[in-house]
A and B are shown apart, each in its own frame.
Chain A
Amino acid sequence: MSEFCSCYECENCNYFLDDMEKLYPVNLAPWVPVVGLEVHAQISSNSKLFSGSQVQFAAPPNSLVSFFDASLPGTLPVLNRRCVEAAVMTGLALNCSINKKSLFDRKHYFYADLPAGYQITQQRVPIAVNGSLSYSLCIDNKMSQMVTKTVRIKQIQLEQDSGKSLHDDTRSQTLVDLNRAGVGLMEVVMEPDMCCGEEAAAAVRELQLILQTLGSSQAVMAEGQLRVDANVSVHHPGEPYGVRTELKNINSLRFLAKAVDYEIQRQIEELENGGMILNETRAFDSKLGFMPEPNLPPLILYDAKSLPANMNHQQVINIDWIHERLPDLPSVKREKLVEQYGILPEHSFTLMNEDGLAEFFENVVKQTQMKPKRVIGWILKDLLGYLKEHSLTVKESPVSSYLLADLLNLLEKEEISSTAAKQVLAELWKGEGKTPLEIVKEQKLQLLQDQKELEQICQAVIDRQENEVMAIKAGNRKVLNKLIGLVQRETQGRSSPVLVKQLLEKKLSE
């Protein structure tokens, strides 16, 4: 939830305005925050963008470095086909126009982890342009209302990653590891269509899910495979955009949201106190330092119509061929889940948001007779609740989809009550290898199957609770719940509340 959100333009943010006025006595004038993002995603490939050294996280320093990566004289870049395909897939998934001819450039700047003194990128004519990304936000914390927002994608470009610098201040030196130098990146530039930290985080999350679905990037932020730079400014409605500041190399979604909101707040306060927003990276940003990459001809891509007849297949990239093989994107998957299982969009959103949860849910549904609409409650509340509490991923769940389906079958067949099922689940979390049926037998949780015995207990309760019976007969139906509770207690939770209610009502009407 965006604590600092102060924009007046998006419906989502308006909702928090009242809360905010309670938190912050300062009267916030109508400021419109504007947030744009530049996301760098490491391409999931075996080797680097322009050389054959391996791409791998956490290897011995400088062990994954070729002569080209170290920028030794006489070496030349050779483009990796897989990286181009990854960029095309991503461009198509983000509704971009794929440029059939794109160019490579050199961007010059000095830094210890950039041995060549320049980065090969695509500044002038990138591989994909003019796309869009749709993402969802909850209006409130309870996940009951979702809105869909869209952010325009300005372009996607292929570029080299730099090496890593470790700053050793005590010895006044920098240690340089070039393992990451030359790894392929896709830079996804999002237009400033967002207005707060929550929107920025939601957009990046959706991009992350898309990249992971495509397989073009594993997009794990914690491992630096997805890095975000945020551009933030504020202005009054109707006036030109304000000076923007850049928040660089953010590598967690939570920090992204917080940092953006904090910066918006900081800028508003600065401007309201009569100050100015200073942009320190502007000089770095300048258009100087670019030149065409002389060692690489234009990158030409084909489609079904323009496919050349006599070329070696390995040298040809066919956009249409890639398009046909795109997997279902998260948004499509979400709709399919809603359609196929009759669950709510919010449920579908949460299923897709947790790694592996949608699969888990579908596996349970396959193995149980219980209706998906009922299963979803167990997945989202009981399963997910427990996992979150213990900081576990779905993959690490001690309860498998098989076990849960087993349990839900017992419940569906009315062999145990809902309360008993929760008890069994609590036992299953211990991961001691027992099956639900074994636990039910151990703890004697089976529902009483003997109707006669149940009727006797109901009768006994009715006979004892004279006051309550009178109240019910006088018209106070709510008191019936107390009787049901008493029967439950007598049977040690082994009676079905529905059946008990039926029996009691029958007896009371006699």
Chain B
Amino acid sequence: MFNFFAFGFFVRIWVSVQQKVSVEVLDHLEHLALVDFRDAEGVERLQKAIEFADQLHEVNTDGVEPMDSVLEDRCLYLREDDVTEGNCAKELLENAREKVEEYFVAPPGNIPLPKLGERETFLQGS
């Protein structure tokens, strides 16, 4: 399930409150996140997600440090440098659909999305 809220959070940096999301930004996002916005509805949903996230601006945060985590007052536990795990290749590989001699198998290296003019995408017409 693709989490549009979290995705919208990422896009905050590039999109200001008033503007619509530009084609360049969408193209960049499609490359990075390997998401296909499919159609106007997809783009609209993204726009709405960003607007939803923008509600955060209604809170006055002057002089307040941003919080990353509710754990911020907890002590970060430090582990001793001992070897306590591993040696379970068989178990780990049980989950793999394909394997070659104890290696996981993946498709060949990252195939980048073709550039905007060269691929079939809804964005082209925009």
Task: Please give the residue numbers on chain A whose beta carbons come within 8 Å of chain B beta carbons, in ascending order.
Answer: 45-47, 51-54, 60-68, 70, 72, 78-84, 103, 109-112, 165-167, 169, 172-178, 283, 286-289, 291-300, 314-315, 317
Report the bound CA distance from A295 to B76 in whole Å.
10
30 examples of A-B residue contacts, CB within 8 angstroms: A47-B82, A61-B101, A62-B89, A63-B86, A63-B87, A63-B102, A70-B92, A72-B95, A78-B79, A79-B77, A79-B79, A80-B78, A82-B80, A109-B32, A111-B110, A112-B106, A165-B106, A165-B109, A167-B108, A175-B104, A288-B13, A293-B69, A296-B69, A296-B76, A297-B73, A298-B72, A300-B75, A300-B76, A314-B78, A315-B75
Q: Which 10 pairs between the two chains have the least Cβ-Cβ distance?
A: A52-B84, A292-B68, A53-B86, A82-B81, A112-B106, A66-B85, A175-B103, A81-B78, A176-B104, A52-B85
Q: 10 more A-B contacts (CB under 8 A) besides A47-B81, A293-B69?
A: A62-B93, A62-B104, A79-B76, A81-B81, A167-B108, A173-B100, A174-B105, A177-B104, A291-B10, A297-B75
Task: Please give the residue numbers on chain B whose beta carbons come within 8 Å of chain A beta carbons, in ascending order.
Answer: 9-11, 13-14, 28-29, 31-32, 34, 68-69, 71-89, 92-93, 95, 100-110
Quick one: given A47-B83, A54-B86, A283-B28, are A315 and B103 in contact (CB under 8 Å)?
A: no
Report the bound CA distance from A45 to B80 in whole Å.
10
Contact B105 A173 (CB under 8 A): yes
From A66, which residue of chain B is reached at the shortest CB distance? B85
Contact B32 A286 (CB under 8 A): yes
Report the bound CA distance from A174 to B107 in whole Å.
6
Which one, A166, A172, A175, A294, contacts B68 given CB within 8 A?
Answer: A294
Q: What residues of chain A lie closer than 8 Å to B72, measured between beta carbons?
A: 297-298
Report the bound CA distance from A109 to B89 in whole Å.
25
Q: What residues of chain B lie closer than 8 Å to A72, measured between beta carbons?
A: 92, 95
Report the bound CA distance from A297 to B76 in whole Å.
5
Contact A289 B10 (CB under 8 A): yes
Query: What distance in Å separates the Cβ of A317 from its nearest Cβ neighbour in chain B?
Result: 7
Contact B108 A297 (CB under 8 A): no
Q: What residues of chain B lie closer than 8 Å to A54, measured between beta carbons?
A: 83, 86
Report the bound CA distance from A295 to B70 in whole Å.
10
